[in-house]
Amino acid sequence: MSPLPTSFQLNNGVSIPTIGLGTWQAPPVRALGQVAAAVEHALKNGYRHIDAALIYQNENEVGDGIKASGVARKDIFVTSKLWNTRHDDVEGCLNDTLKSLGTDYVDLYLIHWPVRLVANEGSALFPVNPDGTRAVDKSWDMSKTWTSMEALLATGKVKAIGVCNWSIPYLEKLKQTWKVVPAVNQVELHPFCPQHDLVEWCRAEGILMEAYCPLGSTNSPLLGDPEVGAIAEKHGVSPATVLISYQINRGCVVLPKSVSTARIDSNLKAIALDQSDMKVLNEMAAKGKQQRVNTPLFGWDLGFDDWYEAQWKEKLANGGYSKWISASA
């Protein structure tokens, strides 16, 4: 088997490392220094890709870690994301991120969710209505946000633009008006939530997929799954290495997250998987293990037909995943 690539090429020719350090759910308290230490350690030990976001509320620390690493900014691929309450202020949100990171550009800027929240006196980040529901602007046209994203390319503040958590219906609608094809769609991807149809659709459009939560999440059954364990034993590696390698083998960037130096180091390892390995991993969801770990309660249809348990159980009952069992045979 050929060695795995260490980078992929975006549809605008920009190179992106296949493995990046995720910073979601990393402690946002700057005084603790955990995020800065994690980023610094990662960069000093081979990482060249950092995935950040304004809503993680730790971009100051990410910037501290980048600076402390001593690695030249030009050698680091940095991603950040537009938060939901800033769809009407795209460049302003980016400017806030750049200030926090201590840089004058990001390599990739993503729309975090295809959902606009309306900030209010209660919160600038997670506003809710008087009845406790999320303050979603259901009338907002996402093409407005994308037009503002496209305009950023001329400013030199971003090298590429893309989306995050976008389903096929949302992408198909955006396609009607986009002038620049998104370079990336970052979504939850792992063997329990492989999103084969979405990966296939994006590949046909030249959109690179990125996997967040590739190991599941805290207490996820993925790492202890016997099928994953058998593949790990076969190759003499950890289950985490199998799950990280799975994404690269299917042509997706992978973004494992950790503030543990040992796990940061081990998460940079990836191996080539053979066809039998990929068949097992590709079929796990279709055989009844479908499960998401990140389903925010926006109270809004995001276009995914497996967002909630009832949806994927209905899809399984109606044979909706069956083609992926035969396709990977």
Residues catalogued as catalytic: 56
22: β partners:
51, 257
Q: Which tokens hold the place of 149?
A: 């994203």
Q: Which tokens hold the place of 289?
A: 């293990």
Distance, CA of 25 to CA of 322 (rounded, Å):
34
Q: Name the residue among 120, 61, 118, 111 with its Cα closest to residue 82.
A: 111
Residue 265 belongs to what H/E stretch? helix 261-266
Output b/e per residue, 124-158; b: 16+ Cβ within 10 A: eeebeeeeeebbbeeebebeebbebbeebbeeebb
Terminal Cα-to-Cα distance of the chain (whole angstroms): 19
To 10 degrees, what angle do helices 226-235 and 275-283 make?
160
Q: HEC profile for 82-115?
A: ECHHHCCCHHHHHHHHHHHHCCCCECEEEECCCC
Amino acid occupying residue 97: T
Distance, CA of 227 to CA of 249 (rounded, Å):
17
| Ramachandran angles phi, psi of 114, nearest 5° | -80, 50
> What are the Cα distances from residue 225, in Å, to 25, 215, 271?
23, 11, 19
